[in-house]
Amino acid sequence: MKYQSQKIALAYFAVAMALFAVQVTMGLVLGWVYVSPNFLSELLPFNILRMLHTNSLIVWLLCGFFGAAYFLIPEEAEREMHSTKLAYLQLLILVVGTAGVVVTYMFNLFEGNWLLGKEGREFIEQPKWVKAGIVVAALIFLYNVTMTVLKGKKTAITNILLLGLWGLALLFLFSFYNPDNLSLDKMYWWYIVHLWVEGVWELIMASILAYLMLKLTGVDREVVEKWLYVIVAAALFSGILGTGHHYYWIGTPGYWQWIGSIFSSLEVVPFFAMMAFAFVMVWKGRRDHPNKAALLWSLGCATLAFFGAGVWGFLHTLHGVNFYSHGTQITAAHGHLAFFGAYVSLNLAIFTYAMPILKGRDPYNQVLNMVSFWLMAGGMTFMTFVLTFAGTLQTHLQRVNGEYFMDVQDQLALFYWMRFGSGLAVVLGALLFIYAIWMPRKEVIEPGETAEVPAE
Amino acid sequence: MARTPARAEPHGALDELPGELLMWVLIISELLVFGAGLAAFLGVRLTDPSGFAEAQDHLHRTGAALNTLVLVTSGFLAARALGLRQVGRRALARWHLGAAMLLGVVFLWIKGAEYADKAAQGIGIETHPFFMFYYLLTGFHAAHVIAGIVVLGLVAIWDDAHNIEVGAAFWHMVDLVWVLLFPVIYLLA
């Protein structure tokens, strides 16, 4: 670790991994509700569990991105972060907001209250005060990193990362706009949901992946940057108008079906490019980096993102197909592998790479970490196949034959059992990962300035 | 942006591309999008040949043919500008770029007249699938003409030969797309 302020990342990664554990545990509980629908139905109904599952996912991924930024920006800009205090203040706001969200959801506090009650819009259910907190935290973050980069060296990696993070923060502002017209509501809602994960997050992903490739393979920076620009161009070209693939059935004009189908079909291109990039860099690279687990996660990330986001996305993106498959388990299959491949694996890759450096030790527990990769990746891939088959069957029974939703659900029980099993593998993998990252205490750990308590 | 510094070792065939790698990425992406749009147009046309033929009769074939001439001439001028700049005739190169831009404006003017005429007839984007594709494809194309005029203006100001080459490449793509759209949308019976 060259710069003291990189240490900030440690706190962010700790929070991220704690929430990661919460997220997958909630996922497992949800998987159980699918096979045993009355489980917890009084105490924690399915919709609340699902909110916790998706919200904690998003928050931990964001914490991971922020942590990654705090880790790599000092190194790229070749200077300390503008302010360490602000970075911890930002984290504090995020943690308080998250805690507030969890409590509000679980006990349904202040229902209907403009400021304090949950808002009930999928993924952006947070009460207004939490949303405001997120904006303040984002502003603090952007101020901090932008000042650092402006005063330091500017590289393609930091430029793209900043572009992605600025976009992320600005697009979130649409969460404050809640028109009465449901079609308009959904239209703006996708500005956040789609333009995050299929737009600006891809920039963040590409830049972090580029940083990892640079460090792990030792390929020339110019080569990495050239790839990075091409990937980013392809992502924005396809992703922005690709938003149209969410506008098929929400009441927007019919031409969106073609705009959405055509542009979103091309969204597979940046993901293919990222996969090609990662493998070409490894082949070209001459560096034999000791952190093999980080390399495995990086390659796994690029590959699973290509399949989960690219291929499984394309599977149901054409409006003629989506007319039948919309909102079935096919969507769930795509959602799981896309998020796991693109953003979860990316975060786990940068954690695996950065944690030994942050803790000032050699990359221990490589084998455990790699086992956790195969457990999680295997479990998630199996889950994706299972849900894809379930979704195909569901599409036929429900949309073609016209059977009732709940009758169809009964017929899918076998798939839901298998999904629970694969979920169990993912949770075990996640816990193993966290253990592999944090547990070895035999080594002398460099005492940081921040008394950081490991999450697990 | 992504230009390879001279000292970097060659990275293969990509470095032999004229102009800028990213421009070629953009050009290929654009061709894919317009190609897919035309394929979709032809596909949907199969489901309703007579409706498409009837709708097509509302188009101005002469105006569109004239526009083809305008745009191809404009592309020729942009290509000449690069040649002139390479032999150091900067002022003349700039005049050529200016003329190319002017023809771009002429194209838009003719196109605008066509749109206005459609609007006067009460034809909109949701009138018929034919017109949906017509407006999407020609509208996207017209947006690229506007962008192309801006690009030509920029490379006329910052006029080193490399920039002009990149700008002209974009302009030729706009040309090419029109040459594909014109026969398929306006002429194909």
Option in B2, B132, B135 nearest A226 (CB): B2
Q: How far is A215 from chain B (nearest CA, A)?
A: 19
Do residues B129 and B56 touch, judged by C-beta distance below 8 A? no
Report chain A residues whose CB lies below 8 A from the CB of B26: 233, 237
Chain A residues inside the 8 Å CB shell of B15: none
Which of B1, B5, B126 has the CB atom closest to A254's CB atom? B126
Tell me, yes or no, if the pTM score tops 0.90.
yes
Distance in angstroms (rounded) separating the CA atoms of residues A170 and B86: 44
CB atoms within 10 A of CB A45: 13
**Cβ contact B100:B78 at 8 Å:** yes
A119-146 mean pLDDT:
94
Q: List chain A domain ranges.
A: 331-438
Question: Is the CB of B33 less than 8 angstroms away from the CB of A220?
Answer: no
Q: Which residue from A230, A254, A265 is facing B21, i.e. has the nearest CB?
A: A230
Which DSSP string do the residues of A311-373 spell out, in sequence order? IHHHHTTSHHHHHHHTTSHHHHHHHHHHIIIIIIHHHHHHHHHHHHHHTTS----HHHHHHHH
Query: Token pair 């000092």 is at which residue?
Result: A74
The answer to whether A320 faces chain B, any CB pair under 8 Å, is: no
Asked if the structure places residue B127 within a domain, the reply is: yes
Who wins on pLDDT, A450 or A286?
A: A286
Per-residue model confidence (pLDDT) at position A179: 93
Residue in the structure block whose two tokens are 């790698």: B21
Q: Is A226 on the interface with B (CB under 8 A)?
A: yes
Chain A residues whose beta carbon lies within 8 Å of the beta carbon of residue B29:
233-234, 237-238, 266, 269
The verdict on residue B155 lying in a domain is yes
Instruction: Report pLDDT for A439.
Output: 84
Please name which of A91, A86, A85 lies closest in space to residue A64, comparing C-alpha atoms. A91
Q: Do A226 and B21 touch (CB under 8 A)?
A: yes
HSE-up of residue A421 (Cα within 13 Å, Cβ side): 9
Distance between CA atoms of B161 and B94, rounded to whole angstroms?
11
Q: What is the pLDDT of residue A363?
A: 87
Taking any CB pair shorter than 8 Å as contact, residues of chain B touching chain A are 1-2, 4-5, 8, 11, 21-22, 25-26, 29, 32-33, 36-37, 40, 125-126, 132-133, 135-136
Percent of chain A clearing pLDDT 90 (strictly above): 91
- Report chain A residues whose CB lies below 8 A from the CB of B135: 255
Chain A contacts of B33, Cβ < 8 Å? 262-263, 266
- Give the separation between CA B138 and CA B178, rounded to whole angstroms: 8
Nearest Cα of chain A lies from the Cα of B84 at a distance, in angstroms, of 30
ipTM for the predicted complex: 0.90
Per-residue CA distances from A347 to A3, A53, A139, A355 (Å): 21, 17, 22, 11
- Looking at the domain assignment, is residue B43 inside a domain? no
**Residues 256 to 315 of A: which have CB under 8 A from any B CB?**
258-259, 261-263, 265-266, 269
**CB-based contact (8 Å) between A211 and chain B?**
no
Residue range A263-287: average pLDDT?
A: 95
CATH code assigned at B133: 1.20.120.80
Interface contact B33-A263, CB threshold 8 A = yes
Residue A166 to residues A152, A209, A218, A342, Cα–Cα distance (Å) = 18, 18, 29, 19
Interchain CB distance below 8 Å, B8 and A220:
yes
**Shortest Cα distance from A185 to chain B (angstroms)?**
23
Optimal mutation site among B3, B26, B29, B125, interface A, most CBs of chain A within 10 A: B29
Number of neighbouring beta carbons within 10 Å of residue A103 = 11
- Is B139 part of a structural domain of the chain? yes
Between chains, do A222 and B36 touch, taking CB under 8 Å as contact? no
* 8 Å CB contact of B136 and A261: no
Q: Are B32 and A240 in contact (CB under 8 A)?
A: no
Give the C-alpha separation, A200 to A208, whole Å: 13
Confidence of residue A442 (pLDDT cuts 50, 70, 90): low
Say whether pLDDT at B1 is over 50. no
Give the distance, in angstroms, between the CA of residue B12 and the centroid of all CA atoms in the same chain.
29
User: According to the model, what pLDDT value does residue A456 have?
Assistant: 44
E strand spans, A146-223: none
Can you give the pLDDT at residue B5? 43
Separation of alpha carbons A100 and A332, rounded Å = 27
Summarised one tens digit per residue, pLDDT across range B41-58 is 999 999 999 999 999 999
Q: A81-95, A322-336, A383-397, A430-444: which has the minimum mean pLDDT? A: A430-444
Instruction: Please write the tens of the pLDDT for every residue from B76-102.
Output: 999 999 999 999 999 999 999 999 999
Per-residue HEC secondary structure of A13-61 comes to HHHHHHHHHHHHHHHHHHHHHHHCCCCCCCCCCHHHHHHHHHHHHHHHH
| Domain-located, residue B37 | no
Average pLDDT over residues A331-340: 98
Cβ–Cβ gap A222/B26 under 8 Å = no
pLDDT at A119: 87
Coil, strand or helix at B11: coil
Q: Is the pLDDT of residue B7 over 60?
A: no
Say what the pLDDT of residue A453 is. Answer: 52
- The overall average pLDDT reported for chain A is 94
Please give the Cα distance from B124 to B115 (Å, whole number).
Answer: 9
- Inter-chain contact A266–B2, Cβ cutoff 8 Å? no
Cβ of A110 under 8 Å from any chain B Cβ? no
Shortest Cα–Cα distance, B50 to chain A (Å): 21
Q: How many domains does chain B have?
A: 1
Query: What single letter denotes the amino acid at residue A411?
Result: Q
**pLDDT score recorded for residue A372:** 97
**Does some domain include residue B133?**
yes
Chain B residue numbers touching A269 (CB-CB < 8 A): 29
> Does A255 touch chain B if contact means CB atoms closer than 8 Å?
yes
Asked if B172 and B100 count as a contact pair (C-beta separation under 8 A), the reply is no
Contact list in A for residue B21 (CB cut-off 8 A) is 226, 229-230
Mean pLDDT, residues B22-40 taken together:
96
Q: Do B33 and A262 touch (CB under 8 A)?
A: yes
- The verdict on a CB contact (< 8 Å) between B5 and A222 is yes
Q: How far apart are the first and last CA of chain B?
A: 45
Task: Tell me how many degrees the CA angle A217-A221-A223 measures, rounded to the nearest 5.
Answer: 85
Contact B132 A223 (CB under 8 A): no
Tokens 């070409």, residue located: A280
Domain range for B129 is 61-187
Task: Judge: A234–B8 Cβ closer than 8 Å, yes or no.
Answer: no
